[in-house]
Copies of this chain bind each other. A is one copy, B any other.
Amino acid sequence: MTSSLKPFFEPCGVAIIGASASSDKLSYGILKNLISYGYRGGIFPVNPKADEILGLPCYPEICQVPSPVDLAVIVLASKLIPSVLEECGKRGIKAATIISGGFKEVGEEGRSLEAEVLKIAAKYKIRLIGPNCVGTMNLITGLNTTFIKGVPATGGIGFISQSGAICGGVVDHVANNGIGFSHFLSLGNEADVNETDMIEYLGEDADTRVIAAYVEGIQDGQRFLKITRQVTRKKPIVILKAGQSEEGAKAVSSHTGSLAGSHAAYQAAFKQSDAIEVFSTTDLLNTAMALDWLELPRGNKVAIITNAGGPAALASDSLALNGIHLATISTATQEKLKEKLNPSAQTGNPVDMLGGANEDEYSFALDLVLSDSGVDMALPILVPQALVKPEKVAQAIVNSSRKSQKPVIACLMGYESIQEARKILHQNHVPMVDFPELTGVMFGALYKRSLFEKVTYKNPVSEQNSGIETVKSIFNKNTGKKIWGENDTRPILSAYGIPLIEGGLVNSIKDGQNFANSIRYPIVMKVASSQLLHKSEAGVVKVGILDDKSFAENYNQLINKAKRFDAKAIIEGILIEKLAPKGEEVIIGMKRDPGFGPMMMFGMGGVFVELYKDVSFRIAPLGVDDAMDMIRETKAFQLLNGWRGGSRFDIEAITTVIMKLSQLAIDFPQIQEVEINPLRVLPEGDGTLGLDCRMILK
């Protein structure tokens, strides 16, 4: 799969179709970049109107370009592209990057043009990047098919961006600060190659140690999840997803025409695949830099070495927010620190060496805390002082960090006066930031990744359920009903082995009394109707019916109430259910996400889920560990797991229900939504009971 992408990044020759001789054109800029950064293959400008551009002979048509050539970079008016791509196909080109816009992003006409281009590409087995992108950079070989001014340093970050503009802005930002990249590319409309393909490719690329992605929308969520899961086993992936808010999602969709889908689904996918989600461009770059350059820590304890207390306090807040704690510096280390530091210095953590601390004191203190076994990582902070040279402190930090495997991230506050220091640190692969608030996310990501490397990989499970044939035959008999109420849904869930409260549908008082006596009073009576899905709100539930007399009294009352609530409701009868044993109530559901497919939901019942949004999501298929993570992620977990010394409820049984419902969703794509609400969770060992359920088919 990924071999077909190789010509984009390691082509034997590149044709640039639509190369212009005019220096104010993008295509001129691309040609110049192709020439400027050391790419060693052939470069062939194609333009019938020119003989030579930037000293290279120009060819009138792609068919006349000499071999070897396997990549075409196309910068032409969108309407010309189908015919040019045909010619590329005939010439044997295997990869084409279409820089030009004017496709899907501009509406219906562009959309059909894009489809035409894709069809031609398929015919000739040409892989496409773009259209509507800024191209790609391979920083290792020097191949640069973008028109971006400047290039970043070479390093281990593979950077993927759907948006070309983010690429441009980021290059401008990092061009001189030393953060290093192996690849740097924009994907634009993703007519063919998308971020999942690139994650797979960079996952196998030996020069890429960490993948950083700016993502707007993912089309095939299931494939993304599968590939990302595989790649994170080998190297970390850091993702910034635009369109987290409703308005951001709208902005994304008006931009690339891609459907953002629900951010909950994205977050679930990131969690399940152990990708690290960040929330700003700065954090994306900083986190990738740290993961590229540093070893992983053995724990989450940081020692701060500083010449000022204020920034250390801000850093401590930032660390705490990201699950990182201040290390306890041993008495022995503190005694040693006292030997050389200012007598007024603080030797506890943060180690505050006071304003006068120079490079020798930084070396001394950093060496000491890095050799303290209670310290997993170190954060030296410097606020520029009149008498201390930041460059010298930077060099001291470099020297100390070289002696230790423990990750060191530096914070040098300021702007003008710390530029030189940053160069020294970054040349030596010590990540540096200019504000203490930025450090927490970086240390947090290192620690998170270190945990990932310790745990065994969670395999999603998709197991044959013995109920599949039963459900198939139920669905086969369905004559177009979309909304399935409790009575319809119960057999589906039962077939998959999900325990439900004992119950049944009756159509007369007499049958009802017989049934109630067979399962024994007390019982619950509910009106069964697909039109009355929210039964409590409609007032058509009666709890705690104790005997035949009370049953008879309530039977017609309930039916009349249902009719009054909604005259059009078709009443299927009265559902009789045994009164459930005491327990906690949770909700388990599935909703199909347009991008990711079946999205499982778990939450505490009642107002907890709606008001406090105490819910968690994962994408099916799930591993049992994923199901357990879903529960643990909610505050509900604490209520179920012995709240304030109380009894524990059957959490394991909940995971079983999640797994079975997940399998049902995988087996039957026609199920759009299904919900068990409430699921009564009984004391540990006693299982769960579904008390109500419903389903929506496509």
- Can you show 13 pairs from A to B with CB atoms below 8 A apart? A150-B416, A163-B308, A172-B415, A173-B434, A216-B313, A242-B310, A245-B317, A251-B326, A255-B350, A280-B435, A280-B437, A611-B635, A612-B612
Interface residue? A507 (CB, 8 A): no
- Taken residue by residue from 428 to 472, chain A's Cβ proximity to chain B (1 for < 8 Å, 0 otherwise) reads as 000000111100000000000000000000000000000000000
Closest residue of chain B to A281 (Cβ to Cβ) is B435
Hey, which chain B residues are within 8 Å of A36, CB to CB? none
A310 is contacted by which of B162, B176, B304, B416 (Cβ under 8 Å)? Answer: B162
Question: Which residues of chain A from 342 to 369 have a CB within 8 Å of any chain B CB?
Answer: 343-344, 346, 348, 350, 352, 354-355
CA separation between A368 and B574, bound complex, in Å? 63
A246 is contacted by which of B216, B304, B320, B387 (Cβ under 8 Å)? Answer: B320
Hey, which chain B residues are within 8 Å of A319, CB to CB? 245, 247
Interface residue? A685 (CB, 8 A): no
Interface residue? A639 (CB, 8 A): yes
CB pair A415–B383 under 8 Å, yes or no, is no
Given A106-B344, A384-B169, the answer on whether A282 and B161 have CB atoms closer than 8 Å is: no
CB pair B607–A643 under 8 Å, yes or no, is yes
CB pair B317–A165 under 8 Å, yes or no, is no
A607 is contacted by which of B172, B315, B639 (Cβ under 8 Å)? Answer: B639
A352 is contacted by which of B148, B254, B280, B611 (Cβ under 8 Å)? Answer: B254
Complex A-B, nearest 3 residue pairs according to Cβ-Cβ distance, in ascending order: A163-B310, A165-B308, A255-B309
CB pair A247–B316 under 8 Å, yes or no, is yes
Hey, which chain B residues are within 8 Å of A153, CB to CB? none
Interface residue? A256 (CB, 8 A): yes
CA separation between A346 and B105, bound complex, in Å? 9
CB pair B243–A317 under 8 Å, yes or no, is yes
CB pair A248–B383 under 8 Å, yes or no, is no
Closest residue of chain B to A33 (Cβ to Cβ) is B386
Interface residue? A279 (CB, 8 A): yes
Interface residue? A214 (CB, 8 A): yes
CB pair B638–A413 under 8 Å, yes or no, is no
A149 is contacted by which of B386, B437, B607 (Cβ under 8 Å)? Answer: B386
Closest residue of chain B to A415 (Cβ to Cβ) is B173
CA separation between A326 and B245, bound complex, in Å? 12
A245 is contacted by which of B105, B164, B320 (Cβ under 8 Å)? Answer: B320
Closest residue of chain B to A166 (Cβ to Cβ) is B310
Question: Which residues of chain A from 466 to 516 have a CB within 8 Å of any chain B CB?
Answer: none
Given A105-B344, A309-B252, A320-B248, the answer on whether A437 and B282 have CB atoms closer than 8 Å is: yes
Most B C-beta atoms less than 10 A away, residue of A165, A252, A326, A384: A165
- Taken residue by residue from 290 to 310, chain A's Cβ proximity to chain B (1 for < 8 Å, 0 otherwise) reads as 000000000000001001111
Hey, which chain B residues are within 8 Å of A537, CB to CB? 644
Interface residue? A396 (CB, 8 A): no
Closest residue of chain B to A170 (Cβ to Cβ) is B413
Given A282-B435, A317-B242, the answer on whether A311 and B417 have CB atoms closer than 8 Å is: no
CA separation between A102 and B355, bound complex, in Å? 12
Interface residue? A314 (CB, 8 A): yes
Interface residue? A414 (CB, 8 A): yes
Interface residue? A184 (CB, 8 A): no
Interface residue? A321 (CB, 8 A): yes
CB pair A387–B26 under 8 Å, yes or no, is yes
CA separation between A435 and B169, bound complex, in Å? 9
Interface residue? A221 (CB, 8 A): no
Hey, which chain B residues are within 8 Å of A316, CB to CB? 243, 245, 247-248, 250-251
Interface residue? A677 (CB, 8 A): no
CB pair A354–B149 under 8 Å, yes or no, is no
Closest residue of chain B to A437 (Cβ to Cβ) is B280
Question: Which residues of chain A from 403 to 436 have a CB within 8 Å of any chain B CB?
Answer: 413-418, 434-436
- Taken residue by residue from 144 to 173, chain A's Cβ proximity to chain B (1 for < 8 Å, 0 otherwise) reads as 000111100000000001111110111011
Closest residue of chain B to A245 (Cβ to Cβ) is B320
Interface residue? A24 (CB, 8 A): yes
Closest residue of chain B to A246 (Cβ to Cβ) is B320
Question: Which residues of chain A from 174 to 232 have a CB within 8 Å of any chain B CB?
Answer: 174-177, 214, 216
CB pair A165–B307 under 8 Å, yes or no, is yes
CB pair B251–A313 under 8 Å, yes or no, is yes
Interface residue? A598 (CB, 8 A): no
Interface residue? A35 (CB, 8 A): no
- Taken residue by residue from 320 to 351, chain A's Cβ proximity to chain B (1 for < 8 Å, 0 otherwise) reads as 11000110000000000000000110101010
CA separation between A352 and B638, bound complex, in Å? 47
Closest residue of chain B to A163 (Cβ to Cβ) is B310
Most B C-beta atoms less than 10 A away, residue of A169, A242, A246: A169
Hey, which chain B residues are within 8 Å of A314, CB to CB? 240, 242, 248, 280-281
Closest residue of chain B to A350 (Cβ to Cβ) is B251
